[in-house]
Every structure is written in C-alpha cells, then in structure tokens.
C-alpha cells in the first residue's frame, strides 16, 4: 500500500513539473466548461429528436457544451507568435467524449500584426459568424436551429460536404486553413478545406469568407461557405446577423439560407430566421429568449419546417458558476418530424454550469 501511495505521489509531482515546464516554455492554458442539467421533454427523446412519448434524462451541455481544452502561445520575437488550440467535447453525465478526441478544435498556427493563420480542424466561417449575433448566444447547441441548420452542424442531408469526417454536419472542417485579420472594427476571415481526394482538387473541398463589424455595442456579420461532396455535389450557404443594444439589454436577428445538391437531380434548401433578446434583470439574473423559424423545400417533396422558442433564466453564483432554468416549445410544420410523432413538443430543464 505504501509503495502504491508513493507511486501516486511521484506521478502527481511529475505531472506538476511537466505542466510547469510547458507553461514556462509556451504559456499553455487549460480551460473548460462543466454543464449538467436534468430535463423533461414531451414529444422529444434524450437526443432532442422527435418522438411519440415523454422523456426524463440528465443532459450535458444544455446551456453550454461541456468541454476541455488547451491553448498555447509562444512569443517568437518581432511581433510573431506561435499558437495552438486543442479542444474536446464531453458528455459530463457519462464521462465519455462526444466523438473523436479533439473534435471541437485541433489546430496550430502563427499570429502577428497582419492577423493569424491556423491549420487543422476548426470551425467554419459560418459558425464563426454566429458569435455575437445568435439570439441564444450559442446556448443549447444541440437544439439551436442557428447552429444545427443555418451553420450546418446537423444539416440532415446524409452527405459529407467538405472535409468534415461526417455525413451529418459541416460545422467544423478537417484539413483546413483559416486566415483571420482584425483591422480596427472590421474582422475578415477566409478559409479553405482540403478534400484530399485522389485525382481531384475540388472533391470534398470547401471554401468560405466572412466579414464582421463591431462598434459601440453593435455587431454586424456576413458569411458565405461553399462545400463539395466526394462526388462534387455542391452545397452553398449564406448567413447574416445583426445585434445591438436596447436599453439595458440587447436585440439579435439572424438569417441563413443554404442550398444543397443531394443527388444529381435533387436539391434541398433550408432557410432559418432567428430573433431574440438578452435582458439583465440584475447583476446576477439574466433572461434570454429566442424564436427561430425554419423552412425547408426538397425536390419531389412538400415544403415543411418548424418554429422553435427557447428561453433561459440564468442566476450567477459567481464569475464562473451559474444555475439556469430553460423552457422550449417546437411546432413542426407539415410533418417535418414524421407523422407518428407529436406535432408540438415541449421541454423543461434545470442545471448548473461552471467555467474554468
């Protein structure tokens, strides 16, 4: 027993020494979010997909996706820095990673007065455009139509567009190169994902550009992304957003549209309108409400879609910890959810979030 305890102490001391040496060399920062809540849903399952019945479950990331990450920066001199980011999403209720290990970020790059250049797995310019303009502020990512539909996290198209490593979404790209330049109030981004398909430079590739303007509490953003499948089917997506101060609070509006070739003869088009507000009742209590309208049209099928309302009440316990209540209602249109499932599901949640 004494030998085992000694080994544990030695391991702990070694870990501290290695971490200290790493920080001394490159200023490495560990960070994360731990978010866990309990949820009751009627007409939705534990994955928030349409269902016939009711579900009670514990959900990770209801307010903000639970994650663990590492950021690093090294001053190379002359205004040049080396930077990296590794980030994993976790299901806090089970302790399991959401998918591949560094699913949220895995990139390295250089940064200077001219901007930054990053290479690896990273969010698209569409995803970046939501920061500061999404009515929910990226809350409830797995249920947020702006993230899921407008920014293509869960496009429901069944085809891999761009080098995502997945046929279910295109919110992040593998093998990608992203430039970010900040010029006073204007931020410019340009991104290209390498398809890495033999005999074709265009198959499974992706390109995108975006502009963002921030001034005196107001934000305006515009983004465009073009994605190809391995068979050179095309997906084009546009996303625009605007937010601004309104009294003590803030108002938000976004609009996104994407059109995808799902076969040589079939096309699917989605449009997403988001409206919402954030209003601080006090220094500790914050209210957030959003409404989304999603319309879908498909070759050979009737038009459908859904409307979704999501609201949060958040109470800050400290700078890093808060508790929250959440409520939502979805109205499916023209059997978007499948005729056998409930047409108007609802959900309620309560949880706690800690950032570090």
The per-residue b/e assignment along 2-35, b for 16 or more CB within 10 angstroms, e otherwise, is eeeeeeeeeeeeeeeeeeeeeeeebebeeebbbb
Rounded distance between C-alpha atoms, residue 289 and residue 211, angstroms: 26
pLDDT in tens, 177-233: 999 999 999 999 999 999 999 999 999 999 999 999 999 999 999 999 999 999 999
Q: What is the CATH number of the domain that holds 178?
A: 2.40.160.10
The per-residue pLDDT for 15 is 40
DSSP per position, 51-75 = EEEEEEEEEESSSS--EEEEEEEEE
Domains of the chain: total: 1
Q: How many CB atoms lie within 10 A of CB 118?
A: 21
CA angle 155-227-109, nearest 5°? Answer: 105
The per-residue pLDDT for 7 is 37
Q: Are 187 and 211 in contact (CB under 8 A)?
A: yes
The per-residue pLDDT for 25 is 57
Residue numbers in the chain where pLDDT is lower than 50: 1-24
Q: Are 255 and 276 in contact (CB under 8 A)?
A: no
Structural domain including 68 reads 2-355
Q: How many CB atoms lie within 10 A of CB 140?
A: 24
The per-residue pLDDT for 245 is 95
Overall pTM > 0.95? no
Q: Are 90 and 65 in contact (CB under 8 A)?
A: no
The per-residue pLDDT for 101 is 87
pLDDT in tens, 15-44: 444 444 444 457 999 999 999 999 999 999
């Amino acid at each position: 027993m004494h030998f085992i305890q000694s080994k544990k102490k030695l391991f702990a001391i070694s870990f501290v020494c290695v971490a200290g040496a790493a920080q001394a060399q490159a200023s490495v920062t560990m960070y994360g979010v731990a978010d866990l809540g309990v949820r009751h849903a009627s007409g939705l399952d534990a994955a928030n997909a349409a269902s016939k019945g009711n579900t009670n479950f514990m959900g990770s990331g209801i307010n903000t996706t639970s994650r663990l990450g590492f950021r690093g920066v090294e001053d190379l001199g002359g205004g040049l820095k080396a930077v990296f980011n590794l980030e994993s999403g976790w299901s806090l209720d089970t302790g399991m990673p959401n998918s591949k290990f560094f699913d949220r970020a895995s990139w390295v790059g250089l940064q200077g007065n001219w901007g930054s250049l990053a290479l690896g797995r990273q969010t698209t310019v569409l995803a970046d455009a939501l920061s500061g303009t999404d009515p929910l502020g990226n809350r409830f990512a797995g249920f947020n139509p702006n993230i899921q539909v407008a920014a293509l996290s869960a496009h429901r198209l069944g085809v891999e567009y761009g080098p995502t490593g997945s046929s279910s979404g295109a919110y992040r790209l593998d093998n990608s190169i992203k430039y970010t330049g900040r010029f006073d109030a204007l931020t410019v981004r340009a991104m290209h994902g390498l398809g890495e398909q033999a005999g074709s430079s265009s198959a499974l590739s992706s390109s995108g550009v975006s502009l963002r303007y921030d001034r005196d509490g107001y934000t305006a953003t515009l983004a465009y992304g073009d994605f190809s499948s391995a068979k050179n089917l095309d997906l084009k997506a546009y996303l625009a957003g605007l937010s601004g101060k309104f009294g003590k609070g803030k108002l938000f509006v976004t609009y996104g549209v994407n059109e995808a070739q799902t076969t040589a003869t079939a096309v699917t088009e989605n449009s997403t309108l988001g409206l919402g507000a954030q209003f601080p009742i006090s220094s500790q209590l914050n209210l957030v409400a959003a409404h989304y309208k999603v319309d879908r049209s498909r070759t050979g099928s009737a038009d459908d879609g859904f409307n979704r309302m999501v609201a949060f009440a958040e109470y800050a316990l400290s700078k890093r910890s808060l508790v929250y209540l959440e409520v939502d209602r979805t109205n499916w249109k023209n059997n978007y959810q499948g005729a056998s499932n409930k047409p108007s599901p609802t959900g309620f949640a309560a949880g706690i979030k800690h950032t570090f």
